[in-house]
């Protein structure tokens, strides 16, 4: 059943409401579980498409007054079900996709939430700038969705993640009021806690982002591409860490275990470490020397740097790669775990031991996708038979291992429906619930996901 007729009529007086037959398109996102036959899909009561913040504010207010739930929709590329409506009105942000201003002097872009990252990047590139945020879903994800899931891009070593990129937000709160999380142009402020961070990673549960001020950077034409092979995955991890200890921080440093290396670079490929960076020629030369000396001293052998180009091109061919596996009757899910350096080897050892043992799992690969002085993101790809039991056991095992090794079960994909039961011990849940109750007493905004 859709929205009750009187409310639907009121909604349609303030904002575009899509024809009911469109609802179905909004009832799933990229959450792999939804590919299972017995999986419960979402249910959209109606889809509204605002064209400005005033319409957003009025629609939010009306939903709260009418006791309706509201789920925002950016690109729908969430892999956790965070943008799946559960008996909710969907707010499609695609009409709010303007770049409002590029402030070159202060290196800031102000943008509406429905803009795709790839479109923002293309416009900035034309002016000689970059946003520096390149998730693999770069062509799918919108600014609002990316900030709301606290995503991160593959060049995080240089540009950080969504939280590092964002200077401030303009947000419609659940009562329909509009706030700016900072109203100065300053690059930093100690005037109170940073409420911008309250909405980054909130998965639309505390309000609707209606614009964002993001950092931009000068494009650099000079690149460094290096590839190395190692005997062991853990040895390669420790070599990557030693780069950071020398304060050598490439934009990209990725380490692949044999299984994933063979899948990405060709059969029987060994453990591989890729470096990608961009800077002025002199900085690039110094970085290349430091990387070479450090990695070869730790047992690495230099490999064909063309493998970096292969990765740069192939990373966006996910639909093609997944299509082959889906066509063969499998499903594929990815697990992105954030771990400290000291816990990562044991965590990886347990993942390798336990996950392939789960009945129905037919393939398993791992790589490290992001490195920090304090730890790394261990990214696992699991190929399995499309069976709900296998799927549930996989995520239970991942959750238990993360807990045991004090790791996070979500380095950058967010929580959604998939992980809401797995993260409660990771965050001060009751504090967040109090904030949710204070801001959203009618529980309007995307309930039952993160909060």
Which of 11, 15, 45, 79 touches ligand FAD (CB under 6 A)? 79
Q: Residue-wise over 54-87: b if at least 16 C-beta within 10 A, else e?
A: ebbbbbbbbbbebebbbbbbbbbbbbbbbbbbbe
- Three-state SS at 12: helix
Measure the CA–CA gap between 373 and 245, rounded to whole angstroms. 7
Q: Which is nearer to ligand FAD, 86 or 303 (CB)?
A: 86
Longest dimension (CA), the chain: 72
Residue 222: CB partners within 8 Å, gap ≥ 6?
Answer: 278, 279, 280, 281, 284
CA proximity to 81, closest of 424, 440, 415, 425: 415
With binding defined as CB under 6 A, does residue 209 bind ligand FAD? yes
Is residue 269 within the footprint of ligand FAD (CB under 6 A)? Answer: no
Regarding 149 and contact with ligand FAD (CB under 6 A), the answer is yes
CB of 117 to ligand FAD, least distance (A): 8
Q: Pick from 50, 113, 160, 270 the residue near ligand FAD by CB under 6 A.
A: 113
**Burial grade of 37 (CB within 10 A; 0-12, 13-18, 19 or more):** exposed
Which of 71, 165, 257, 408: binder of ligand FAD (CB under 6 A)?
A: 71
Between 322 and 352, name the residue whose CB sits nearer to ligand FAD.
Answer: 322
CA distances in angstroms from 343 to 86, 116, 225, 255, 404, listed in the order given: 37, 36, 29, 17, 10
Q: Which two tokens stand for residue 226?
A: 């290096």
Would you state the structure tokens that stand for residue 391, as one six-digit string?
């799927």
Question: Binding to ligand FAD by residue 181, rule CB under 6 A?
Answer: no
Binding mask 317-336 for ligand FAD (x = CB under 6 A): -x------------------
Query: Per CB under 6 A, does 182 bind ligand FAD?
Result: no
49 near ligand FAD (CB under 6 A): no
From 138-146, 227-235, 243-251, 395-403, give the range in contact with ligand FAD by CB under 6 A: 138-146
Q: Pairing between strand 301-303 and 331-340?
A: unpaired
Among 132, 145, 365, 375, binds ligand FAD (CB under 6 A): 145
How many residues touch ligand FAD under the rule CB under 6 A: the total is: 37
Nearest residue to ligand FAD by CB is 145
Distances (CA, A) of 242 to 68, 225, 259: 53, 18, 24
The interface region with ligand FAD, picked from 43-51, 145-153, 213-221, 306-314 by CB under 6 A, is: 145-153
Shortest spacing between CB 34 and ligand FAD, in angstroms: 12
Residue 135 is a binding residue for ligand FAD (CB under 6 A): yes
DSSP state of 179: E
Nearest to 167 by CA among 200, 210, 134, 126: 200
CB of 5 to ligand FAD, least distance (A): 26
- Both tokens of residue 172? 């419609």
CB of 142 to ligand FAD, least distance (A): 4
Contacts of ligand FAD in 28-47 (CB under 6 A): 29-30
Applying CB under 6 A, the residues found at the interface with ligand FAD are 29-30, 71-79, 82-83, 93, 113, 135-137, 140-142, 144-146, 148-149, 151-152, 203-204, 208-209, 318, 412-414, 446
């Amino acid at each position: 059943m859709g929205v009750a007729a009187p409310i639907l009529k009121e909604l349609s007086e303030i904002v575009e409401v899509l024809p009911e037959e469109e609802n179905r398109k909004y009832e799933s996102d990229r959450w792999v579980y939804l590919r299972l036959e017995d999986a419960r899909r979402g249910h959209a009561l109606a889809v509204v498409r605002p064209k400005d913040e005033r319409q957003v504010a009025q629609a939010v207010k009306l939903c709260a007054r009418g006791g309706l739930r509201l789920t925002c929709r950016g690109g729908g590329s969430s892999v956790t079900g965070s943008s799946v409506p559960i008996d909710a009105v969907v707010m499609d942000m695609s009409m709010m996709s303007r770049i409002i201003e590029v402030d070159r002097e202060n290196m800031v872009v102000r943008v509406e939430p429905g803009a795709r990252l790839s479109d923002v990047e293309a416009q900035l590139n034309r002016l000689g700038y970059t946003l520096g945020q390149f998730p693999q879903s770069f062509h799918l994800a919108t600014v609002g969705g990316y900030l709301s899931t606290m995503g991160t891009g593959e060049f995080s070593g240089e540009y950080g993640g969504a939280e590092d990129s964002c200077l401030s937000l303009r947000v419609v709160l659940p009562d329909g009021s509009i706030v700016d999380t900072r109203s100065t142009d300053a690059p930093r402020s100690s005037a109170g806690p940073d409420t911008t961070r309250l909405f980054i990673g909130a998965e639309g549960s505390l309000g609707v982002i209606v614009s964002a001020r993001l950092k931009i950077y000068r494009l650099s034409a000079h690149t460094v591409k290096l590839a190395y092979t190692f005997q062991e995955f853990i040895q390669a991890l420790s070599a990557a860490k030693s780069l950071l200890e020398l304060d050598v921080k490439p934009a990209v440093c990725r380490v692949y275990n044999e299984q994933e290396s063979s899948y990405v670079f060709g059969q029987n490929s060994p453990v591989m470490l890729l470096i990608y960076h961009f800077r002025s020629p002199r900085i690039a030369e110094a970085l290349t020397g430091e990387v070479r000396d450090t990695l070869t001293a730790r047992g690495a052998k230099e490999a064909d740097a063309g493998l970096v180009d292969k990765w740069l091109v192939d990373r966006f061919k996910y639909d093609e790669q997944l299509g082959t596996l889906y066509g063969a009757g499998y499903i594929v899910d990815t697990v992105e775990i954030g771990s400290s350096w000291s816990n990562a080897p044991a965590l990886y050892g347990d993942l390798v031991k336990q996950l392939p043992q789960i009945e129905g799992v037919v393939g398993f690969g791992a790589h490290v996708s992001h490195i920090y002085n304090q730890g790394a993101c261990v990214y696992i790809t699991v190929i399995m038979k499309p069976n709900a039991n296998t799927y549930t056991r996989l995520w239970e095992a991942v959750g238990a291992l993360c807990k045991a090794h004090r790791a996070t079960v979500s380095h950058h994909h967010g929580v959604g429906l998939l992980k809401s039961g797995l993260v409660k011990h990771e965050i001060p849940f009751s504090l967040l619930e109090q904030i949710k109750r204070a801001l959203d007493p009618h529980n309007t905004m995307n309930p039952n996901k993160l909060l």
